[in-house]
Amino acid sequence: MARISTYPLDTAIVGTDKWIGSDSQYLFATKNFTADAVAEFINGYNKVESTSLRYGYHDYNVFPAMEPGTISFPYYVGGNTDFSTVTSFKISETQLFRGLDPLANFYTNPLIGSMVMISQCDKISNWGAFQWVNSTQDIDNPTFYDITLQYVSGPGFFEDEEDYFISILTYDTSLTSDKNFVWTQVGASNTWQVTHGLNKLCSVDVVSDTDDIIYPNIEYTSLNTVTITFSTPQAGQAFFN
């Protein structure tokens, strides 16, 4: 047999090209492996280090049987879900095939306030851009987090059993400084339920729709949510700092 170094180099690799290796599942028998098969294994099992996070989307019809490394909704959809209709989902604290690296803190910083892209792993044309608004640990499934999002753009959708990347498009640099948030209440109400996503106990200033300063009761229900209560229905704005 000729030495390997004497064989010519193939400079035009295609998916059906083959090379020889050992099959560890069958007593290390010598077998051929195609470039297509190796590429599918690397992509399918997240074997390449990447700045994108990878999850499988599952449209569960039984809860709370959620699996690690998945994104899902708290209800059964039964079909494709357009990104334009998505305002929240549940996400595993670990990404697909990398279960030893919990990401709960990452869901807060740097993602809260940042712009992200969600795209199907094997079809980049299926994408959507979102602002990552808030992250809260799920009460019933503590290894999952409830994520609030705001759809921005993109033609994509969630398809059952497909894998998706989450990538940061624009990092919210104001996370390193003092952030603020403005809530506008259009319809008059005795109670304003506000999710500000600032991850702190904010100072809150409230004005009516006629720009008068008012002093309601303010209850901090979490680091990211506040309940504002009035004695009479009010419309206006709340300023969080």
60 and 167 both lie in a single domain:
yes
Whether 13 maps to a domain, the answer reads: no
Residue that terminates a domain, selected from 139, 173, 207: 173
Residue 120: phi, psi to the nearest 5? Answer: -70, 135
Q: What is the pLDDT along the chain (241 residues), one digit of tens a residue?
A: 566 667 677 666 666 766 776 776 766 677 776 756 655 555 554 444 445 789 999 998 655 568 899 999 988 888 899 999 999 999 999 988 655 667 878 898 888 888 999 999 888 899 999 999 889 998 888 899 999 999 999 999 999 999 999 998 887 655 445 567 889 998 899 999 998 888 788 889 999 998 888 999 999 988 889 999 999 999 999 999 8
Host domain of residue 143: 53-173
d(CA 123, CA 77) in angstroms, rounded, equals 21
Domain count, the chain: 3
Beta strands in the chain (DSSP E): 18-23, 29-34, 53-57, 70-72, 81-82, 88-92, 115-120, 123-137, 144-153, 157-158, 163-170, 181-195, 204-208, 213-214, 217-220, 225-240
- Residues 241, 178: contact at Cβ < 8 Å? yes
- Residues 210, 234: contact at Cβ < 8 Å? no
d(CA 160, CA 123) in angstroms, rounded, equals 14
